[in-house]
Amino acid sequence: MTTRGRGRQQQPVGLLLSAPYAVFIVAVFAYPLGLAVWMSFHKYIFTAPGVDVPRPFVGIDNYTAVLGDPAVRRSFLNILVFLVINVPLTVALALLLATALNAAIPFRTFLRVSFYVPYVTASVAVVGVWLFLFSSDGLVNQVLGGVAPDPSWLINEHWAMPSIAFYVTWKQLGVFILLYLAALQNVPKELYESAAVDGASRWRSFRAVTVPGVRTATTLVTLLAIITGANLFTEPYLLTNGGGPSGRSASPVLLMYQRGIEQGHPDIAAAIGVLLVLGVLIIAGGQQLLERRQR
């Protein structure tokens, strides 16, 4: 049986039930996205409500300005560095830890909760803990002694972005572990049993059973990590003093805030935003393509 016939049937109750969410999507996602694209092609300024000012079409002027700005190019490079570290690390650690937490180990519930706590704690509070750990006379440098980087992590132009990537990985790990834990419940126990009967080692059955068994979850985790990572703002704002040192940890969203809200150039900020959306779509598309080829 195909689903074609069923899809064509009118379901008034279904439409009614889905309407609130559809309205939500249109109002909170589709309309702002459309407006951002429109803004990025016009000279747009904020005004008091009810004031009518000309907002002429300027073609790709905003995009030329954005792409010609070394600070913006740097921020896109920064976010790429961030994603290259953050996404693989997130996927690998989340899967490994979820597998461990799925096994019969002592304090399982306690550990599951522990990994989730950073995710639900306010960023500002957790950043405080990381400053305590990673500042120049923080705990980490005291342990490292002579091998501690100089200048210290968060004010080192090479370490600032990786430090943020590690921080975000740690902070968000809980939610990704949760996704993997859910997926692990769907991997049939029989597969592990037959792998064991065939004499597979623990590592071997992890690779041959667990990894393919949670592939859909991996797709989801990767996508979510890319999207949340590309929207990085709080961490460079708080942890590295607004994208420091010298813009080495500035993210595109941080620059959108500076250009759009602080400096009053929403059109420029919109252009950065549209480029960021396109960038994320390209990376996500490439990832999907890779995924399909593997199947």
**Which region, judged by CB under 8 A, interacts with other proteins, from 3-11, 13-21, 113-121, 237-245?**
237-245
Q: Is 126 in the site for other proteins (CB under 8 A)?
A: no
DSSP letter at 151 equals: S
Q: Which of 45, 132, 186, 278 binds other proteins (CB under 8 A)?
A: 132
Choose between 52 and 190: whose C-beta lies nearer to other proteins: 52
Q: Which residue has the tokens 């000279």?
A: 43
Q: How many residues bind other proteins (CB under 8 A)?
A: 30
Choose between 174 and 243: whose C-beta lies nearer to other proteins: 243
Closest-CA residue to 282 (of 80, 43, 45, 140)? 80
Q: Is 142 in the site for other proteins (CB under 8 A)?
A: no
Choose between 74 and 173: whose C-beta lies nearer to other proteins: 74
Give the span between the Cα atoms of 165 and 169, in whole angstroms.
Answer: 6
Q: Mask: binding to other proteins, 42-81, rule CB under 8 A, as x and -? A: -----xx-xx-------------------x----------
What 3-state class would DSSP assign to 44?
Answer: coil
Q: Which of 32, 162, 244, 279 binds other proteins (CB under 8 A)?
A: 244
Cis previous bond, 245, omega within 30: yes
Choose between 128 and 212: whose C-beta lies nearer to other proteins: 128
Q: Which of 121, 194, 241, 288 binds other proteins (CB under 8 A)?
A: 241
Q: Is 263 in the site for other proteins (CB under 8 A)?
A: yes
Q: Is 197 in the site for other proteins (CB under 8 A)?
A: no
Q: Which residues contact 186 (CB under 8 A, 6 or more apart)?
A: 213
Q: Which residues contact 71 (CB under 8 A, 6 or more apart)?
A: 247, 250, 255
Residue 42 has φ and ψ, to the nearest 5°, of: -130, 160
Give the span between the Cα atoms of 251 and 70, in whole angstroms.
Answer: 13
H helical segments located in the chain? 4-8, 12-25, 31-40, 61-67, 70-102, 108-120, 123-134, 139-144, 160-184, 189-197, 202-205, 211-213, 215-230, 234-238, 252-256, 266-294
Minimum gap (Å) between residue 145 Cβ and other proteins: 18
Q: Which of 81, 85, 126, 239 binds other proteins (CB under 8 A)?
A: 239
Interacting residues with other proteins (CB under 8 A): 47-48, 50-51, 71, 128, 131-132, 135-137, 151-152, 154-155, 157, 238-247, 258, 262-264
